[in-house]
Amino acid sequence: MGAVTRGTTGPDRLRRVERWLAQTQGPRLRRASDPLVVDLGYGASHVTVTDLQRWLRRVRPDVRVVGLEIAPERVASARAALAGVAGAPEFAVGGFEVPTAGDPVLVRAFNVLRQYESDQVERTWDLLRSRLAPGGLLVDGTCDELGRRSTWVALEREAGPVSLTVSVRLAGLPAPSAVAERLPKVLIHRNVPGEGVHDLLRAADDAWARAAPAGTFGVRQRWVATCRDLARDWPVLGGPSRWRLGELSVDWSCVAPGRRRA
């Protein structure tokens, strides 16, 4: 189920979400009876699947990673490239129906739904969530070509969307709102006055400006000061250990489409 995407990818392009999955979702993966993880729509190269497996094996050495692609020639290419490699990920033809043996505890769909229409996103979320194991998590996100600016929505099987995360390379960042063109599909057209995500980015820019003096100690300290400032009025998740990585996560309730922050 689905359509063939452009398939552009590259080594370490998705390192920001891979690090987040390994470090924040480790407990979810460790307690899974079947540590099955799906990289959905991995593109023309298998590299993001092997990157994901490398990160997650630090958390769960027996993790089973399956790369799913709707284009059979991409699956054939991945299998040929890794033929004979011990412990290599699995590859299979499939789309949003997630035709795997067993229900995955994690599904990553990156730079996939951004190529669909906005009105297709939520029903696709529901379909993917229905394929998760109990307690499972879906990550729907997007990033630029080099992986320096990235955003994603985390959705739980039972609760639906729970958070939005922004993760950026801090060096050379003009302002937090520079990530706007890489918002997930469900939000990218909502970055207009009256929408929560627009208010969040404007508030982040204001906090970034106020934090300019902290830049004397480096851009990382300026970002941490920005997140700390935002946390006074916004439901910011995590703390300095995540902020120092160029991350900012907020509760989904404040950016959900059509819902202004209370």
CA distance 195 to 255: 7
Q: Say if CB 224 and CB 244 are below 8 A apart.
A: yes
pLDDT of residue 261: 56
pLDDT of residue 116: 83
Question: Per residue in 20-41, pLDDT tens?
Answer: 999 999 999 999 999 999 999 9
pLDDT of residue 6: 66
Joined tokens for residue 7: 């398939």
The angle formed by the CA atoms of residues 253, 258 and 262, to the nearest 5 degrees, is: 50
Joined tokens for residue 259: 């819902």
Predicted structure pTM score: 0.94
Element (H, E) at 128: helix 121-130
Look at phi and psi of residue 14 and say left if phi exceeds 0, alpha if psi is from -120 to 50, else beta. Answer: alpha
Q: Say if CB 128 and CB 156 are below 8 A apart.
A: no
Q: Say if CB 123 and CB 2 are below 8 A apart.
A: no
According to DSSP, the residues that pair with 68 across neighbouring strands are 40, 92
Question: Per residue in 167-180, pLDDT tens?
Answer: 999 999 999 999 99
pLDDT of residue 114: 83
Q: What is the DSSP letter of 114?
A: G
pLDDT of residue 180: 97
CB atoms within 10 A of CB 28: 18
Pairing outcome for strands 160-168 and 64-69: unpaired
The ranges assigned to domains in the chain are 14-168, 176-234
Residue 72, phi then psi, degrees to nearest 5 = -60, -35
According to DSSP, the residues that pair with 69 across neighbouring strands are 93
Distances (CA, A) of 190 to 125, 146, 168, 207, 212: 18, 24, 20, 21, 28
pLDDT of residue 119: 84
Ranges under pLDDT 70 in the chain: 2-7, 259-262
According to DSSP, the residues that pair with 91 across neighbouring strands are 67
pLDDT of residue 118: 86
Q: Which CATH number fits domain 14-168: 3.40.50.10470, 3.40.50.150, 3.40.640.10, 3.40.50.80?
A: 3.40.50.150
CB atoms within 10 A of CB 53: 21
pLDDT of residue 11: 79
Q: Say if CB 26 and CB 59 are below 8 A apart.
A: yes
3-class SS at 93?
Answer: strand
